[in-house]
Chains A and B, each alone.
Chain A
Amino acid sequence: MSALELIQLNLLTPVVLAFFLGMAATLLRSDLKMPDELYQGLSIYLLLAIGLKGGVELSAAAPREFLIPAGGAVLLGLAVPLWCYALLRKIGRLTVADSAALAAHYGSVSAVTFLATLAFLAALGVPHEGFMPALLAIMEVPAIVVALLLARSRVPERTPWRELAREILTGKSILLLAGGLLIGLITGREGFAKVEGFFVTPFQGVLALFLLEMGMVAARRFGDLRKVGWFLVGFGIVMPLLHGALGIYVGKWCGLSMGGSMILGVLAASASYIAAPAAVRLSLPQANPTYYLTASLAITFPFNLTFGIPLYYAFARFAYGV
């Protein structure tokens, strides 16, 4: 399949088109508005569903099969914020707080980008390891901790560690992903069959609704692109490409299938916008949210969703020589 066909295959899905519809609604100043309660409900559904499915698959996987990729995922989460921070500080000339905040976002992961990738692979019929949602959960936290550590010694006024740990670990995205994994792991396939009708069949529809809202949010931030400057726009596109390639190689070294490595690449390439913003806002308030929210939501997320996913797929094929 040519690159153009891959991009087409990725763009012309209800989920991605719903994202564009959301964008159009904001740009055309439509009165469309997603109620906050609905948005909260959809995100709870999505996170719990991902966790559950991942847990069920994890219950079927051999521990060794899983532990090595899990180690690779942790290493990626720990390492990515280090060079992001250095680059933003030295070349981008951003403040300590802003650099660390961005490093936390780019080291952490985006659940929706992950889901779009699963849909893309399903459309192509490419198999992958079922436990990938566990890697998504594993990669949420380390980068946030590393980035906060980087900033902590260099900014005045610190939040006590205990409070920080509580805020990061009890945040809804970690709680639901990890909790879902645990429930799936305990109840296995048999238990999952009982809730399957609710958590599997409507899943893509819920995702489409969620992306409608994300399109509106991303488009609202387009005005801020001028404020954040060209360096950050470039950063938000180039870094995901580098991280994507790195993640794919790490996946290959860890023995993942091509589909699995591509997903790990997407995880490395994606930037967080649920767990990281909440944690960073509370524990690193000196950082300007305009930078990290705009970079993550208005640059990296749309890029990954449209062109990134097919590119990472093409790269994974290249890495595996197929």
Chain B
Amino acid sequence: MREIIHLIKKDCMLIVRDASNLVMILLLPLLIATIFGAINSASEETNKLAVALVDNDKTPISAAYIERLSQRDDLEIIQSTLEEAQNATRLGDVIAYMILEPDFGARLQQFPFISSPPEIRIVSDPKRKVISGMITGITIPTAMELVQERQDSGTSGMASPSLQPLKITHEDYVVESELPVSAFSITVPQAALWSILACVAIMSTSLATERLQQTILRLKVSPTPMWVILSSKILSCMFTIFISCAILIVYGKIAFQLNIQSFAMLSFAILCSAFCFAGLMLAIGSLGSNPGSVAGAAWSIMVIFAMLGGGMMPQFLMPEWLSALSSISPGKWSILLMEGAIWRNYSIVEALFPAAILIGLGGLGCVAGVRNLNREKFI
């Protein structure tokens, strides 16, 4: 019995004394519990679905309908012109835009004594198609409430509850271009992110192996300056990321006729992402000298970033504080920047913000990694 206790104690000590193990077995589950707990328990705080609304009708009835939609807890209505709505959808600021057609008010007033009900067009971000169904589920009952209210006040005919008061048409938002958006246009940035995460895990493990085998010691003593050694570590990670993304894109072009709005922008997006994740690789790789636990820690941290970045659940399901926190996830900005190049048609100015965040996070990672490596004791 005594032996068993000592064996257990030894294993526990081995786990606790490696910071990278703690990331994997404690930090990751705690964050998962916090994130999912926040999503499941805080329905009142949940992010509203941001939807742009273009009122082409501009009648008191359309205004009353918009007012009613705005009062809902689950929608954030942003009244816009068509151009503004398209732009907000393109940039990913809203998940969709709705267009109330010019005869919306008149038709709704005549409901149900008309052959066809008033029409609302919902044009959604193709990445968030599923959500347009949720918007439909909100818009129709709201219209019904409005109709019933008007009937109660005698301003409308009697409605039959079995009839739909609105006709909803769904469209995917497509950037004005000769190049169609394919399903692969949506999935390629996500696949590229997974490839980047794998590169980070592999390269940080390789750095830990260098520390374990003391080859890093040999590099430090060589006449080659330390900044050259660390820069080459970062560059080799960036190069690996760049090559893996390039292979993915070539595969997309050949197998799925992937269309890319701007190759230059895509290269810029991958470059920024590569720098960001190479910096993180340096920070993670300097966490410990046990390659196995560093690999585990790398994957744990990447999963946390993927979760926060909306890679595992839609961000609108998150409470506001968590949604704000997701801005630290490089995955979110990396995907957005790649989408900007592939189908969102980002301008240089629009790309600068996510690019700056990626470069900033990469810089922080580099500083943390260099500090850890310089602090290292060789006993």
Interaction A to B:
no
- Please report B residues at the A interface, Cβ cutoff 8 Å: none
